[in-house]
A and B are shown apart, each in its own frame.
Chain A
Amino acid sequence: MSDKRRIGVYVCHCGGNISDYVDVEQVRDAVKDDQDVIISKNVMFACSDATQQEIIEDIEREKLDGLVVASCSPTLHLQTFKAVAQRANLNPYQYTQVNLREQCSWTHRNNMESATEKGIKLVRAGIARTRLTEPLTNIRIETKPRTLVIGAGVAGLRAALALADLGLAVFVVEKESEVGGWTKKWGKMFPNNRLGNDTIEYLLEQVKQRENITLFTDAELIEKGGNVGDFSIKIRVKEGETVSLDVGAIIVATGFDSYEPFDGEYGYGLNGVVTLPQFKEMVDKSNGSLNFNDHQVKNIAYIYCVGSRQPEDGEIENPNLYCSRYCCSAAVHTASCVADIDPNINQYHLYRDMRTYGKYEVMFENAGKKKSLFIRFDDESSPEVEVSNGALIVKVNDALDGGEEIEIGADLIVLVTGMVPRENESLTNVLKIPIGLDGFYNEIHPKLRPVETVVDGVFISGTSQGPKTLAESVTSSLSAVSKSAALLMKGYVDLEPFIAEVDTDKCVWCGECEKSCPYGAIEKVVCDTKEVATIIPALCKGGGVCIPDCPEDAIEIKGYTDQQIRSMIDALAKEVA
């Protein structure tokens, strides 16, 4: 490409963020006479409306065919300046962002001379790449107005309803034979005391009233192909039987497992030592009085943080370091329910930090007012459960009383167990979505993109993402509905055109590239009597793994060609005069 180009370069001060440490005027002057550079300017804030307008006017007046803005990280403003190019009728892929802030000024605060030199090289590399850019167009994909919801617990059912009410078809896949997940199993749930079963019954009734929801029970997702807006999926409905569907988006609402204590953990396995869900069931089913082993329960000891906040360097293998969020509130709420059944039951809570956050504080207060007693143990001295003369006792050092060792006789010991991630390896492998250090599905960013995953079009909700209360699960599932509905109701999705391209002259079809592609995006075709490889645009992710595998060097990624990368390296390596 020996054609003359017309490139505009804008070097940003970022209000001092760059210009305090990089001599931006020197950078501007250094490149102003470089080949094909028509404009080289300093700007105070490149991202400001006024400067954007100025750039647009420059592009139009000088008929620029390439744009370089040397400012901050592309994460922040790549889209901003691509849009600027677009508004000036310049192809957005002929724009290059140079990161002069995170990769230069902020990292070299103590040496302005060297930082400036590096800045010049970075800008020159950007210009070099831009000189070799070609206009590219996005790959537009029509979206299918259907969503797959995995899991028919409270989050999945609620998401299905909301999607259906937006006019989108929904397929709900539930592994169990019954819908409702954990919520269905429970009676009064905090903080509003609605029965879990009632909530599920209500949601299921609503689901049945909507024609555009299809519910599969005893079913599993076994295959996922395609990409955002147009996934082709396969569901196993009964042994041997499968259903194939096209959906535009997928919402994961697979829920949690309750932590199962190991044998002997705080006496687990002894008669009378139960987990919180087991105890909750007893309380829900109790009728007038709380009995265990045909005896009326008089004393209950709760041990908190079982399976949560485990020490990193303790004896437990792969400890759960995280806090399970809901257990403190659930335990004090259950204790209140117990006191309502029989106010004479003595309840002792052995806790570490009482995490009844926000309005749940009131439930903690109420449990106290109903005469629950709270005993704190610290990280170094866990309570011990023993059997003495056939009766359960708990020994604990009360950190609220100078570490005094106390002994509690209990008819029941409730292990306040937390939430752990569902064992879902096969599903995770099908979806190819990442798992965080805590084992729950990982969002892209907890604040900015809390329901999105690195796989476009696959959203996570409810407790599949991390421990949550009932209302929080529903809130997050509705949030996932927002995201998937926004995607599908637009009707199309634009994918970046950075995909592989085969040079048919060079290609000899050896098949290496086809083997290396994890997305099945390469196939063999006949081109002028010659067998060559071709790329399926909708499937190619531009990952580039095929490129080093090609013995003929016949594949390139559009927008990041070998020639472009080499020219950038040359520019970076060249001494600044």
Chain B
Amino acid sequence: MAKQLIFTPNRCVDCKNCEMACSFVHTRDFTKLAMPRVQAFTFKEDIKAVSVCQQCEDAPCQKVCPTGALVRNPATGAIERTDSCILCKSCTLACPYGNIHFDPVYDEIVKCDFCGGDPACAKVCPTRALVWAEEPAPDIKQDAEIERVFTEEEARYSANRCLDCADCSECGECVKACPADAIHFDMQPEEIKIEANSVIVSTGFKLFDAHLKTNYGYGKYPNVVTAMQMDRLVSPTKPYNRTMRPSDGKAPDNIAFVLCTGSRDCTIGNPLCSRVCCMYSIKQAQLLMGSLPLADITIYYIDIRAFGKGYEEFYQQAKEMGVYFVKGRVAKIEPVEDGNLSVFYEDIDGGSGQQQMEHDLVVLSIGLLPNMDALNLFKNGDRLEADAYSYVKEINEDIEPTRTSIDGVFVAGTTSAARDIPDSILHAGAAAAQAAGYIHQLKASR
């Protein structure tokens, strides 16, 4: 007998690992929006079930297919969708079990293909409820000796953590619940035409992608986070109402900030200083001092650029609160035990050369990059002139700040350079004055 996918209902704990594995194998994405070919669900309150294509001998889907696009693979026995599919969806209606779907995200018909002979769903099933075998696994009461990936308790815990966040069934309950009537299911994109004498471009900046600084292991080590993520972890509405690190939820007690991540660095192509990172890092350090009074906080820097009104005083205050400031850029980050990290730097102030320091959470103070989309906002061949760093150029910065290469178009905020909030607000005020002046003159000349 050939191998098949065999499901034993009383082993299933509805952990949905099978769905996730299926989604990942077929789309490289853990989203349930990408219609898995295998579906775990609970019916009649406590009966667990996994629904997957039976690969029927005399398959209704195959029969109704007008183009013969569903073909059985002799090697695995699975019926597979081939390229001649015209997306008529007849097969989805024909299947008596509802195991063949139209996927609106990837715009294709999806069904189980046994992963080419090694189904991922069966591999990840922690309780062996789903097996790739010739016969069902022995009943759960009889196989105490089988070593499980999870205990039943752990599996249930994992399953319950799932928020099913991508799984909207369009039931409309949220529409009813929202007191502000803010949810609409029938909204469509629309184009609005506005005639204006002047345009202010305030499209902001792009954040540096921390993955690009490979020495720092962002995306590889869970306890290396960006300052953007840290802002969430220290905000008044932080998750779980306490500051924790990603890997294990432990309250960190030795946190490092790595300044100039993606700034002042030709190796990633940005020679400029981002202006805001020193100060937001010091702000976060002060907030952390409040939420984790016993934690050590170290800021690794090249120069502390506390140049704005009240900033130097804020920096000195952080020092007095006990934040450690270490002169020396972090050169690389490596993992050590327990999810902790070792940062490598030169102890410049102490003069003792190469140093390593262990931290349990590392925050990358990522910098600002130009939003180059701004350059091509105007359709009729008018491209906004860029400066040497791809920011929108202010053509006469000294006397006519915010003016661009296109007459009547002005920039505000970080569209033309990295700026902090006070400077962005001032810049926006200047853009408003420029635009108003431009319109006034335009009307006067008519």
**Which A positions have Cβ atoms within 8 angstroms of B?**
43-45, 48-51, 158, 162, 165-167, 189, 192, 194, 199, 202-203, 309, 312, 321-323, 325, 353-362, 365, 376, 378, 399-403, 436-438, 440, 446-448, 450-451, 465-466, 470-472, 474-476, 478-483, 485
Residues of A within 8 A of B310 (CB): 322, 438, 446
Within 8 A of A (CB), among B413-435: 417-419, 421-423, 425-430, 432-434
Q: Do A358 and B401 have beta carbons less than 8 Å apart?
A: no
Distance between Cα atoms of A61 and B352 in the complex (Å): 78
Known interface pairs A358-B273, A447-B422, A485-B436; A322-B398 also in contact (CB < 8 Å):
no
Distance between Cα atoms of A49 and B182 in the complex (Å): 10
Known interface pairs A165-B440, A166-B436, A199-B399; A359-B389 also in contact (CB < 8 Å):
yes
Q: Do B179 and A447 have beta carbons less than 8 Å apart?
A: no
Q: Do B398 and A483 have beta carbons less than 8 Å apart?
A: no
Distance between Cα atoms of A485 and B434 in the complex (Å): 12
Residues of B within 8 A of A189 (CB): 398
Q: Do A322 and B313 have beta carbons less than 8 Å apart?
A: yes
Q: Do B440 and A167 have beta carbons less than 8 Å apart?
A: yes
Q: Mark B378-391, 1 if CB is under 8 A from A, else 0.
A: 00000000010100
Q: Do A450 and B426 have beta carbons less than 8 Å apart?
A: yes
Q: Does B437 contact A (CB under 8 A)?
A: yes
Q: Do A474 and B399 have beta carbons less than 8 Å apart?
A: yes
Known interface pairs A45-B180, A466-B309; A162-B273 also in contact (CB < 8 Å):
no
Residue of A nearest to B352 (CB): A402
Q: Do B275 and A479 have beta carbons less than 8 Å apart?
A: no
Q: Which of B7-15, B136-144, B149-157, B298-306 contacts A (4 or more CB under 8 A)?
A: B298-306
Count how many chain B residues have C-beta atoms less than 8 Å from C-beta atoms of the other chain: 54
Q: Do B437 and A165 have beta carbons less than 8 Å apart?
A: yes
- Closest CB of chain B to A95's CB: distance in Å? 21
- Closest CB of chain A to B391's CB: distance in Å? 8
- Closest CB of chain A to B427's CB: distance in Å? 6
Distance between Cα atoms of A276 and B275 in the complex (Å): 24
Known interface pairs A51-B179, A165-B441; A475-B426 also in contact (CB < 8 Å):
yes
Residues of B within 8 A of A166 (CB): 433, 436-437, 440
Q: Does B106 contact A (CB under 8 A)?
A: no
Residue of A nearest to B424 (CB): A447
- Could you list some 22 contacts between A and B, CB below 8 A? A43-B179, A44-B179, A48-B180, A50-B180, A162-B434, A166-B436, A202-B399, A312-B316, A321-B313, A358-B419, A401-B351, A402-B351, A402-B352, A438-B310, A446-B309, A471-B401, A474-B401, A475-B426, A478-B433, A479-B429, A479-B433, A482-B436
Distance between Cα atoms of A399 and B328 in the complex (Å): 12
Known interface pairs A353-B304, A353-B305, A478-B433; A378-B349 also in contact (CB < 8 Å):
yes
Known interface pairs A50-B179, A357-B273; A482-B433 also in contact (CB < 8 Å):
yes
Q: Do A158 and B304 have beta carbons less than 8 Å apart?
A: no
- Known contacts A323-B312, A357-B275, A476-B426; 4 further A-B pairs (Cβ under 8 A): A192-B397, A450-B425, A475-B423, A476-B430
Residues of B within 8 A of A465 (CB): 309
Residues of A within 8 A of B430 (CB): 474-476, 478-479, 482
Residues of A within 8 A of B444 (CB): 167
- Closest CB of chain A to B87's CB: distance in Å? 41
Q: Do B307 and A357 have beta carbons less than 8 Å apart?
A: yes
Residues of A within 8 A of B312 (CB): 309, 321-323
- Closest CB of chain A to B310's CB: distance in Å? 7
Distance between Cα atoms of A376 and B349 in the complex (Å): 10
Known interface pairs A50-B181, A353-B303, A450-B425; A403-B271 also in contact (CB < 8 Å):
no
Residues of B within 8 A of A485 (CB): 433, 436
A-B contact number at CB 8 A = 160
Q: Does B311 contact A (CB under 8 A)?
A: yes
Residues of A within 8 A of B419 (CB): 358
- Closest CB of chain A to B259's CB: distance in Å? 12
Q: Does B32 contact A (CB under 8 A)?
A: no
Within 8 A of A (CB), among B95-139: none
Q: Do A325 and B179 have beta carbons less than 8 Å apart?
A: no
Q: Do A399 and B179 have beta carbons less than 8 Å apart?
A: no
Residues of B within 8 A of A483 (CB): 429
Residues of A within 8 A of B387 (CB): 359
Residues of B within 8 A of A480 (CB): 429
Q: Does B72 contact A (CB under 8 A)?
A: no
Q: Mark B304-336, 1 if CB is under 8 A from A, else 0.
A: 111111111100100000000001000000000
Q: Does B348 contact A (CB under 8 A)?
A: yes
- Closest CB of chain A to B441's CB: distance in Å? 6
Q: Select one of A49, A354, A470 contacting B180, CB under 8 A.
A: A49
Q: Select one of A323, A359, A402, A440 contacting B307, CB under 8 A.
A: A323
Residues of B within 8 A of A447 (CB): 421-422, 425
Q: Select one of A45, A203, A354 contacting B179, CB under 8 A.
A: A45
Residues of A within 8 A of B428 (CB): 479
- Closest CB of chain B to A92's CB: distance in Å? 23
Residues of B within 8 A of A43 (CB): 179
Q: Do A399 and B349 have beta carbons less than 8 Å apart?
A: yes
Q: Does B48 contact A (CB under 8 A)?
A: no
Residues of B within 8 A of A478 (CB): 401-402, 429-430, 433-434
Distance between Cα atoms of A322 and B417 in the complex (Å): 24
Residue of B nearest to A191 (CB): B397
Residues of A within 8 A of B274 (CB): 358
Q: Do B308 and A162 have beta carbons less than 8 Å apart?
A: no
Within 8 A of A (CB), among B264-322: 264, 271-275, 303-313, 316
- Closest CB of chain B to A189's CB: distance in Å? 8
Distance between Cα atoms of A43 and B180 in the complex (Å): 11
Q: Do B399 and A203 have beta carbons less than 8 Å apart?
A: yes
Residue of A nearest to B264 (CB): A361
Distance between Cα atoms of A49 and B316 in the complex (Å): 44
Residue of B nearest to A399 (CB): B349
- Closest CB of chain A to B305's CB: distance in Å? 5
- Closest CB of chain A to B162's CB: distance in Å? 24
Distance between Cα atoms of A338 and B381 in the complex (Å): 43
- Closest CB of chain A to B407's CB: distance in Å? 15
Residue of A nearest to B350 (CB): A402
Distance between Cα atoms of A360 and B426 in the complex (Å): 19
Q: Do A399 and B433 have beta carbons less than 8 Å apart?
A: no
Distance between Cα atoms of A436 and B271 in the complex (Å): 35
Q: Do A358 and B417 have beta carbons less than 8 Å apart?
A: yes
Residues of B within 8 A of A450 (CB): 422, 425-426, 429
Q: Do B425 and A403 have beta carbons less than 8 Å apart?
A: no
Known interface pairs A158-B399, A166-B436, A166-B437; A475-B427 also in contact (CB < 8 Å):
yes
Q: Do A403 and B351 have beta carbons less than 8 Å apart?
A: yes
Q: Do B273 and A475 have beta carbons less than 8 Å apart?
A: no
Q: Select one of B327, B397, B436 contacting A471, CB under 8 A.
A: B397
Q: Select one of B348, B401, B421 contacting A399, CB under 8 A.
A: B348
Residue of B nearest to A321 (CB): B313
Which has the most chain A C-beta neighbours within 10 Å: B274, B349, B387?
A: B349
Residue of B nearest to A189 (CB): B398
Residues of B within 8 A of A482 (CB): 429-430, 432-433, 436
Residue of B nearest to A465 (CB): B309
Which has the most chain A C-beta neighbours within 10 Å: B349, B429, B440?
A: B429
Known interface pairs A358-B272, A359-B389, A482-B430; A194-B398 also in contact (CB < 8 Å):
yes
Distance between Cα atoms of A482 and B350 in the complex (Å): 50
Distance between Cα atoms of A191 and B273 in the complex (Å): 15
Q: Select one of A48, A359, A474 contacting B272, CB under 8 A.
A: A359
Q: Select one of A158, A358, A403, A471 contacting B275, CB under 8 A.
A: A358
Within 8 A of A (CB), among B232-269: 264
Which has the most chain A C-beta neighbours within 10 Å: B274, B312, B418, B440?
A: B312
**Which A-B residue pairs are the 9 nearest by beta carbons?**
A402-B351, A479-B429, A478-B430, A323-B312, A353-B303, A48-B180, A466-B309, A44-B179, A478-B433
- Closest CB of chain A to B394's CB: distance in Å? 8
Distance between Cα atoms of A192 and B96 in the complex (Å): 74
Residues of B within 8 A of A194 (CB): 398
- Closest CB of chain B to A496's CB: distance in Å? 25
Residues of A within 8 A of B306 (CB): 323, 353, 355
